[in-house]
Structure 1
Amino acid sequence: MPSAKSKHNKAILAQSKPKFFSMVRSLHLADYLTLGNGVCGCLAVLFAMRSLITQDPTFLYLSFCLVPIGVFLDAMDGAVARWRKATSLLGQELDSLADLITFGIAPAILGFACGMQTILDIFVLCYFVCCGLSRLARYNATVASMPKNESGKIKYYEGAPIPSSLIIVIILAYGVYTGKFWNFENVPRSDNGYISPFKIAFTGKNVWGNEVKVISRFFIHPFVLIYAISGTMMISKRLRIPKF
Structure 2
Amino acid sequence: MTDLTGTRIDDLTPLTRADARRLAVTEYERLAQQLRSLTPDDWWQPTDCTAWDVRAVAGHCVGMLSDFRSLRSMVTRVQAATRAAKAQGGEMIDAMTAMQVAEHAAATPDELVALVERRGPVAARWRTGTPRLLRRLPMQETVGGRKETWRLGYLLDTILTRDPWMHRIDIARATGRELVLTADHDGRIVADVVAEWARRHGQPCTLTLTGAAGGQFVAGDGAGEQLTLDAIEFCRILSGRAPGTGLLTQPVPF
TM normalised by structure 1 equals 0.27
Larger Rg: 1
Higher relative contact order (CA 8 A, sep 6+): 2
TM normalised by structure 2 equals 0.26
